Amino acid sequence: MTLSIIIPTLNEEMYLGALLKSLLDQHLEAAYEVIIVDASPNDLTTKAANKYADSISIKVAKSPVADIGTQRNIGAVIARHEHLLFLDADVILGDGVLHRCLKRLKPDELHIVSVRHRADHATTGVHATLIFIYFLILLARLTGLPVTNGDYLLTNKRTFQSTGGFKEGFLLGEDTDFGVRACGLGARHSIEWRTFVIANSRRLSVTPAWKLALTWATAYLRVIRGNGPTGTRPNDEQYPYGRWCGP
């Protein structure tokens, strides 16, 4: 089994190294490559990636726009391997997450695999928000609706090509939209509950956890109602993290 790991980046030089280190700590036996699709105005993210070039097969591609849907699509087109894993640059892989998720895959099947998330700095408010979010996820699954998050989304080329890829030019919800369209074509969506990725909590320094959860829930409802992803660029003030350049 082979894997292409696609990471869209924009000024992520402070975080990318921790993700790549956690990838090495997976001790993955399968052949894999890492594709960084960078929209940064400088080469700092590229330099951070190249520090791992001796240990990981890394390719850096430049994106003409800072748009996560576009960047994911660029990565998928140039990917050499059948299975595609889309990651955000500021997550850290939990122990054994790739081994467990890859075991869920079946040849030539339309599929999407998600995982649990943990916050790197979990306060009482963050814990409460995560409980609320997982309640909503379980409720959605009971009604047959997928919940797919772009910070860890494992699929394959067949699924990607069947959907036409991610919709481009949107502020948020493009990951959920991809999952909804894939499952509408018969893709199997599963969640690996036994492991996780650690999500960076930097957004919480700008927006309270409850407000961020409400924003995501509203975007999710918009997608499953058939209205598609939320907002269009360059209206980033609606959701500032799409052009993140802070700590």
CATH no. for residue 31? 3.90.550.10
| Pair 4, 78: CB distance under 8 Å | no
> 97 pLDDT exceeds 50?
yes
Q: Which residue do the tokens 């850096």 mark? A: 60
Q: If you search the block for the tokens 């494992």, which residue do you land on?
A: 154
Task: Tell me whether residue 246 is in a domain.
Answer: no
- Whether 234 has a pLDDT exceeding 60, the answer reads no
| Residue 6 pLDDT greater than 90, yes or no | yes
Task: Let me know if residue 16 belongs to a domain.
Answer: yes
What local confidence, expressed as pLDDT, does residue 200 receive? 80
- Residue, of 33 and 175, whose pLDDT is higher: 33
Residue 96 within a domain? yes
Q: For residue 209, is pLDDT > 70?
A: no
Identify whether the C-beta of residue 161 lies closer than 8 Å to the C-beta of residue 182: no
Q: What is the pLDDT of residue 244?
A: 42
- Band (pLDDT 50/70/90 cuts) for residue 144 is confident
95 Rama class: left (phi>0) / alpha (psi -120 to 50) / beta:
beta
Please check the confidence at residue 189 and state whether its pLDDT lies above 80. Answer: yes
Query: How many domains is the chain partitioned into structurally?
Result: 1
Domain that holds residue 55: 2-240
Match 């956690």 to its residue by tokens: 22
**Residue 245 domain flag:** no
pTM across the whole model: 0.87
142 assigned to some structural domain: yes
Note whether residue 247 is domain-resident.
no
5 SS3 class: strand
| pLDDT tens, residue by residue, 29-50 | 889 999 999 999 999 999 999 9
Q: Taking each helix axis from N to C terminus, what angle separates 124-142 and 209-222, rounded to the nearest 10 degrees?
A: 20
Q: What is the pLDDT of residue 47?
A: 96
122 pLDDT above the threshold of 70: no
- The pLDDT score that the predictor gives to residue 148 is 83
**169 or 6, higher pLDDT:** 6
